[in-house]
Amino acid sequence: MTGPDALMLNMESPSTPMHTLKVAILDTERRGRPLTLDELADVLPGYLGMFPRATQRLEWARGYSARPFWVPDTDFDVARHLDETWVAGPGERTDLDAVLSELAVRQLDRSHPLWALTLVHGLAGGRQAIVVRVHHAIADGVAALNMFMASTGGAGEKVAPAPIGTGHAGHDHRALLRAARSESWKLLRGLPSAASALRRAVSAKRGAANGELIPKPLTVRRTSFNARSGDRRVCASRDISLAAIQRIALAAGTTVNGALHGVIAGAIRNELIARGEEPTTSVTIFGVAKDLASTRVHGNGIATAMAYLRSDLADPVERIRATGESCAATVRCRRDVGFELTEKLATYTGRLGPVFRGLAAHRAPRVMNNITTANLPGPRTTRWVGDVEVVDWISFALAIAPADVNLTAYSYAGKLSMGLIATPESMPDPARFLLRVAEAVDEAAGALGVSEIAQEAS
């Protein structure tokens, strides 16, 4: 297992689930009948061969617990990874979100491949949902998007079968032990290289243009978004118009990423005011992909970047422009620094990092960030599985203390699909917060004079 993947595995604890949720909303009207769990059990083995981690499990070499190996699951049974449930109530988005909140804390069995699929029945309009729980040790956002794209097609397209391989032999424990020892020596020999990469990164950050626009680590004041939390999670989802965000970005002279974070800053401002707090500047951490064109379907190749969300500014235009400037500066700096250091440090801190986080999460007077965000481009048209249209695709990431609020946005078929996961202590009403994001879009569009265009796009 690579260092970044192992870090994601080792971060997990009873109160910190480290699996993400990938949700596909299905319209089965064309086929005239809903999907069944038996159909999925019959079909999936014919395609899981395109995803190696789907049939691999973890195995540790004795005495080397930080970085386990991926080995074939010789006892793989797809039925073990499938279940189904029904939403309560009329099957609206909030009813699905309640199911997702429960699935967000149902941790995966480490004795088998680290994924599970739940078929959800009873959504409004006769729709269904497929919810895949996949451990972050398997895939980051780019890899998960590539999995979705590989397993679906455009209207009328067929996905080429990729059956699961057969006849996997068991692994040799002695070979794993030898490999672990060899890797340990390699790490020792690589310490000078890691130190050199750290020096280059520090130098690059010090020389970064507009460095004042990039937050410094562990200098962020806690807000109620960083409340002491437990093992519960709450989820909420909502769509906003991608075209509206694009129009706002164009009018404000920023990027789509900057405009989106600017409207999130507006939502944070209004949320803090509603909670009776001073709306000071907030800080987000978001991922910068090493290679957005990558077709990998597993692994973690994203490095983090910190940016100011100018929730202290009352004027929505100033807020978006200032937030966009910080986002642009930190992305430039991240690409100048490169991704080598992230990969190396994760390899050396796979165990120590999670220990430190666990000790400091609820004690440190300053934190890294108030909210975690992600923004990735998805397909421009809806995807299909045979004769079943995927009308929406939503991603929920991780709620990790002390920044328990995590908002993920993927563009999908002309809209931005938002998935918010948090702890109830840090975000008591996640659906209301996403409504604030939508309201901040309208506010910004009106202030920039693009409200009519934005409404047409919606």
Q: Of 138, 162, 186, which closes a domain?
A: 162
Q: Of 98, 128, 162, which closes a domain?
A: 162
Q: Is residue 208 part of a domain?
A: no
How big is the CA angle at 100 (ends 226 and 283), to the nearest 5 degrees? 25
Q: Is the pLDDT of residue 455 over 70?
A: no
Q: Which residue has the tokens 């920044």?
A: 403
The pair of structure tokens assigned to 233 is: 């999670």
Please answer whether residues 110 and 70 qualify as being in contact, where contact means their C-beta atoms are separated by less than 8 angstroms. Answer: no
Which residue range is the domain that position 46 belongs to? 3-162
Q: What is the pLDDT of residue 34?
A: 95
Q: What does the alpha-carbon distance between residue 76 and residue 312 come to, in Å, rounded to a whole number?
A: 53
Q: Is residue 108 part of a domain?
A: yes
CATH number for the domain spanning 284: value is: 3.30.559.30
266 shares its domain with 415: yes
Q: What is the mean pLDDT of the chain?
A: 92
Q: What is the pLDDT of residue 457?
A: 46
Closest CA to 232 of 136, 337, 105: 105
pLDDT digit string, tens, across residues 106-124: 999 999 999 999 999 999 9
Mean pLDDT across 27-46: 95
299 shares its domain with 429: yes
Q: What is the pLDDT of residue 172?
A: 84
DSSP assignment of 385-445 = ETTEEEEEEEEE---BTTB--EEEEEEETTEEEEEEEE-TTT-S-HHHHHHHHHHHHHHHH
Give residues with Cβ within 8 angstroms of 30, minimum separation 6.
387, 388, 389
Closest CA to 411 of 431, 434, 393, 385: 393
Which amino acid, one-letter code, is at 121?
A: H
Q: Which residue has the tokens 């404000």?
A: 252
Q: Is the pLDDT of residue 452 over 80?
A: no
269 shares its domain with 404: yes
Q: What does the alpha-carbon distance between residue 137 and residue 135 come to, in Å, rounded to a whole number?
A: 5
Mean pLDDT across 138-146: 96
Mean pLDDT across 361-368: 88
428 shares its domain with 308: yes
Q: Is residue 457 part of a domain?
A: no
266 shares its domain with 403: yes
Mean pLDDT across 132-148: 97
Q: Is residue 391 part of a domain?
A: no
pTM above 0.85, yes or no: yes
pLDDT band at 165 (very low <50, low <70, confident <90, very high): confident
Q: What is the pLDDT of residue 169?
A: 66
Q: How many domains are contained in the chain? A: 2
Q: Of 146, 162, 178, which closes a domain?
A: 162
Q: Is the pLDDT of residue 234 over 70?
A: yes
Which amino acid, one-letter code, is at 130?
A: I
Q: Which residue has the tokens 């990469």?
A: 197
Q: What does the alpha-carbon distance between residue 173 and residue 122 come to, in Å, rounded to a whole number?
A: 47
229 shares its domain with 147: no
Q: What is the pLDDT of residue 94?
A: 96
Strand pairing partners for 304?
Answer: 287
Q: What does the alpha-carbon distance between residue 11 and residue 349 come to, in Å, rounded to a whole number?
A: 11
131 shares its domain with 241: no
Q: Are strands 366-367 and 220-221 parallel, antiparallel or unpaired?
A: antiparallel
Q: What does the alpha-carbon distance between residue 16 and residue 392 come to, in Å, rounded to a whole number?
A: 27
Q: Is the pLDDT of residue 291 over 60?
A: yes
Q: Among residues of the chain, what percentage have pLDDT more than 70?
A: 97
C-alpha distances in angstroms, 70 versus 63, 89, 175, 197? 17, 41, 13, 28
Cα 167 vs. chain centroid, distance in angstroms?
34
Strand pairing partners for 64?
Answer: 61
Helix axes 316-337 and 242-252, enclosed angle (nearest 10): 90
Q: Among residues of the chain, what percentage have pLDDT more than 90?
A: 75
Q: What is the pLDDT of residue 346?
A: 80
Q: What does the alpha-carbon distance between residue 254 and residue 246 come to, in Å, rounded to a whole number?
A: 9
CATH number for the domain spanning 79: value is: 3.30.559.10
Q: What is the DSSP letter of 370?
A: S
Q: Is the pLDDT of residue 153 over 90?
A: yes
Q: What does the alpha-carbon distance between residue 246 and residue 255 come to, in Å, rounded to a whole number?
A: 8
131 shares its domain with 223: no
Q: Is residue 183 part of a domain?
A: no
404 shares its domain with 276: yes
158 shares its domain with 36: yes
Does residue 259 sit in helix, strand or coil? helix
Q: What does the alpha-carbon distance between residue 215 and residue 281 come to, in Å, rounded to a whole number?
A: 11
Mean pLDDT across 281-289: 96
Q: Is residue 169 part of a domain?
A: no
Helix axes 256-274 and 242-252, enclosed angle (nearest 10): 100
Q: Is residue 64 part of a domain?
A: yes
Q: How many CA atoms lie within 13 A of 12 on its CB side?
A: 20
253 shares its domain with 138: no
Q: Is residue 455 part of a domain?
A: no
Find the range with the poorest average confidence among 166-180, 238-252, 428-442: 166-180
C-alpha distances in angstroms, 441 versus 16, 191, 418, 424? 32, 47, 13, 25
410 shares its domain with 347: yes
Q: Is the pLDDT of residue 364 over 80?
A: yes
Mean pLDDT across 52-76: 92
pLDDT band at 168 (very low <50, low <70, confident <90, very high): low
Please answer whether residues 360 and 383 qualify as being in contact, where contact means their C-beta atoms are separated by less than 8 angstroms. Answer: no
Give residues with Cβ within 8 angstroms of 344, minimum separation 6.
3, 190, 193, 194, 197
C-alpha dihedral over 132, 136, 138, 142, to 10 degrees? 80
Please answer whether residues 323 and 261 qualify as being in contact, where contact means their C-beta atoms are separated by less than 8 angstroms. Answer: yes
pLDDT digit string, tens, across residues 405-437: 999 999 999 999 999 999 999 999 999 999 999
Q: What is the pLDDT of residue 305?
A: 94
Q: Is the pLDDT of residue 205 over 80?
A: no
Q: What is the pLDDT of residue 193?
A: 82
pLDDT band at 362 (very low <50, low <70, confident <90, very high): confident
